[in-house]
Structure 1
Amino acid sequence: MQVIQLKYPLDLIQTNTEAKVMALGFFDGVHRGHQAVIKRAVKIGHDRQLPVAVMTFNLYPGIVFNKVKASEFTYLSSVARKAAIMADLGVDLLYVVDFTQAVGQLQPQDFVDQFLVDLGVKVAVAGFDYTYGRPIERANMAVLPDYAQGRFEVVTVAEQTYQQHKISSTAIRTALADGDVDLADELLGYPYQTQGTVVHGEARGRELGFPTANVASTDNQRWPGIGIYATAIQVQGRWYPAMTSVGRNVTFGDNRPVTVEVNILDFNQDIYDQTVDLRWYHYLRGEVKFTGAAGLITQLKQDEQATRDYFQNYSLEKEVNDVPR
Structure 2
Amino acid sequence: MKIIYLHHPYDVNQITDDKVVMAMGFFGGVHLGHQAVLKQARKVADQRKLPLAAMTFDHHPSVVFPKPELDGTLYLSSVKRKAELMQKFGVDLLYVVSFTSKLANLTPQDFVDQYMVDLCAQVIVAGFDYTYGPRKIADMAHLSTYAKNRFEIVTVPEFLLDGEKVSSTRIRTDLKQGDVDHANLFLGYIYQTSGLVVHGEARGRTLGFPTANILSDPKARIPGIGIYAVRIKIGSKWYLGMASVGRNVTFGEHRPITLEINIFDFDQEIYGEMVRVDWYHYVRGEIKFDGAEGLIDQLKADEKNIRQYFANLTI
Instruction: Provide the rounded CA distance (Å) in 1 between the counterparts of 2:180 and 2:120.
Output: 40
Kept in 2, the 8 Å contact 1:63–1:70? The answer is no
Q: Secondary structure at the match of 2:81?
A: helix
Pairing 1:254–2:253 present: yes
Instruction: Provide the rounded CA distance (Å) in 1 between the counterparts of 2:68 and 2:177.
Output: 21
Q: Secondary structure at the match of 1:278?
A: strand
Q: Secondary structure at the match of 2:141?
A: coil
Instruction: Provide the rounded CA distance (Å) in 1 between the counterparts of 2:290 and 2:17.
Output: 65
Q: Secondary structure at the match of 1:246?
A: strand
Question: Post-superposition shift, 1:66?
Answer: 2.7
Q: Which amino acid aligns with 2:172?
A: R
Kept in 2, the 8 Å contact 1:55–1:97? The answer is yes
Q: Residue 22 of structure 2 aligns with which residue? A: 22
Question: Post-superposition shift, 1:72?
Answer: 6.7
Instruction: Provide the rounded CA distance (Å) in 2 between the counterparts of 1:229 and 1:69.
Output: 27
Pairing 1:263–2:279 present: no
Instruction: Provide the rounded CA distance (Å) in 1 between the counterparts of 2:146 and 2:70.
Output: 31
Q: Secondary structure at the match of 1:142?
A: helix
Moved over 6 A (4+): 69-72
Q: Secondary structure at the match of 1:146?
A: helix
Q: Residue 206 of structure 1 aligns with which residue? A: 205
Q: Secondary structure at the match of 2:301?
A: helix
Question: Relative to structure 1, is the Cα distance of residues 79 and 200 closer, same or farther in structure 2, using a 3 angstrom cutoff?
Answer: same
Instruction: Provide the rounded CA distance (Å) in 2 between the counterparts of 1:232 and 1:214.
Output: 14
Instruction: Provide the rounded CA distance (Å) in 2 between the counterparts of 1:224 and 1:282.
Output: 11
Q: Residue 173 of structure 2 aligns with which residue? A: 174
Instruction: Provide the rounded CA distance (Å) in 1 between the counterparts of 2:268 and 2:226.
Output: 25
Q: Residue 221 of structure 1 aligns with which residue? A: 220
Q: Secondary structure at the match of 2:62?
A: helix
Instruction: Provide the rounded CA distance (Å) in 1 between the counterparts of 2:34 and 2:235.
Output: 30
What pairs with 1:5-44 in structure 2 (closer than 5 Å)?
A: 5-44=5-44
What pairs with 1:17-166 in structure 2 (closer than 5 Å)?
A: 17-67=17-67, 73-133=73-133, 135=134, 138-166=137-165
Instruction: Provide the rounded CA distance (Å) in 2 between the counterparts of 1:218 and 1:145.
Output: 40
Q: Secondary structure at the match of 1:283?
A: strand
Instruction: Provide the rounded CA distance (Å) in 2 between the counterparts of 1:260 and 1:162.
Output: 31
Segment drifting more, 294-303 vs 216-225: 216-225
Question: Post-superposition shift, 1:178?
Answer: 0.8
Pairing 1:239–2:238 present: yes
Question: Post-superposition shift, 1:68?
Answer: 5.5
Q: Which amino acid aligns with 2:222?
A: W
Q: Which amino acid aligns with 1:60?
A: H
Kept in 2, the 8 Å contact 1:42–1:90? The answer is yes
Question: Post-superposition shift, 1:238?
Answer: 1.0
Question: Post-superposition shift, 1:237?
Answer: 1.1
Q: Secondary structure at the match of 2:223?
A: coil
Instruction: Provide the rounded CA distance (Å) in 1 between the counterparts of 2:146 and 2:167.
Output: 26
Q: Which amino acid aligns with 2:24?
A: L
Q: Residue 188 of structure 1 aligns with which residue? A: 187
Question: Post-superposition shift, 1:138?
Answer: 5.0
Question: Post-superposition shift, 1:270?
Answer: 0.9
Question: Post-superposition shift, 1:219?
Answer: 5.1
After superposition, the C-alpha distances for 1:4-29 in whole angstroms (9 at most, x for unaligned) are: 00111121122234210000000010
Q: Which amino acid aligns with 1:116?
A: M
Kept in 1, the 8 Å contact 2:62–2:72? The answer is no
Q: Secondary structure at the match of 1:287?
A: coil
Segment drifting more, 105-114 vs 11-20: 11-20
Instruction: Provide the rounded CA distance (Å) in 2 between the counterparts of 1:183 and 1:274.
Output: 30
Instruction: Provide the rounded CA distance (Å) in 2 between the counterparts of 1:14 and 1:234.
Output: 35
Question: Relative to structure 1, is the Cα distance of residues 160 and 72 closer, same or farther in structure 2, using a 3 angstrom cutoff?
Answer: closer
CA RMSD of the aligned region, Å?
1.5
Q: Secondary structure at the match of 1:94?
A: strand
Count of residues paired in the alignment: 315
Instruction: Provide the rounded CA distance (Å) in 2 between the counterparts of 1:19 and 1:190.
Output: 31
Kept in 2, the 8 Å contact 1:229–1:243? The answer is yes
Question: Relative to structure 1, is the Cα distance of residues 63 and 279 closer, same or farther in structure 2, using a 3 angstrom cutoff?
Answer: same
Q: TM-score, normalised by structure 1?
A: 0.94
Q: Residue 313 of structure 1 aligns with which residue? A: 312
After superposition, the C-alpha distances for 1:212-248 in whole angstroms (9 at most, x for unaligned) are: 0011112510000000000100111111111100000
Q: Secondary structure at the match of 2:38?
A: helix
Instruction: Provide the rounded CA distance (Å) in 1 between the counterparts of 2:135 and 2:306.
Output: 51
Q: Residue 322 of structure 1 aligns with which residue? A: none
After superposition, the C-alpha distances for 1:73-114 in whole angstroms (9 at most, x for unaligned) are: 310000000100111111100000011100011110000000
Q: Which runs of 5+ in 2 are unaligned?
A: none
Pairing 1:294–2:309 present: no
Q: Secondary structure at the match of 1:131?
A: coil
Segment drifting more, 301-310 vs 7-16: 7-16
Question: Relative to structure 1, is the Cα distance of residues 60 and 196 closer, same or farther in structure 2, using a 3 angstrom cutoff?
Answer: same
